[in-house]
């Protein structure tokens, strides 16, 4: 039983990680190529990197 639970925990962790990465990549891909915004591209990337799972879930 412990082995099966451990496998399921790893699968769940992998799915969660994959979901977070996919949403962060989507946010990155949605950034405008040329922006008149005062925010630098690095600032925007930092913001994406700081998003947590709950915030990412709200996006879609």
| CB 51, CB 24: distance < 8 Å | yes
| CB 16, CB 53: distance < 8 Å | yes
Query: Which stretches of 1-60 are DSSP H helices?
Result: 2-30, 41-50, 53-59
Write out pLDDT tens, residues 31-47.
Answer: 777 655 566 777 877 88
Q: Please give the distance of CA 2 from its chain centroid, rounded to a whole number.
A: 30
Write down the pLDDT at residue 40: 74
**Cα 11 to Cα 4, 6, 17, 38, distances in angstroms:** 11, 9, 10, 41
Write down the pLDDT at residue 12: 92
CA distance 45 to 13: 24
Q: In the chain, where are the structural domains located? A: 2-59
Position 55 pLDDT exceeds 70:
no
Q: Whole-model pTM?
A: 0.55
Write out pLDDT tens, residues 2-32.
Answer: 667 798 999 999 999 999 999 989 988 887 7
């Amino acid at each position: 039983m412990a082995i099966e639970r451990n496998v399921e925990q790893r699968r769940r962790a992998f799915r969660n990680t994959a979901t977070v990465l996919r949403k962060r990549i989507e946010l990155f891909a949605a950034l405008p190529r040329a922006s008149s915004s005062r925010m630098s591209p690095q600032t925007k990337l930092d913001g994406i990197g700081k998003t947590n799972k709950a915030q990412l879930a709200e996006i879609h």
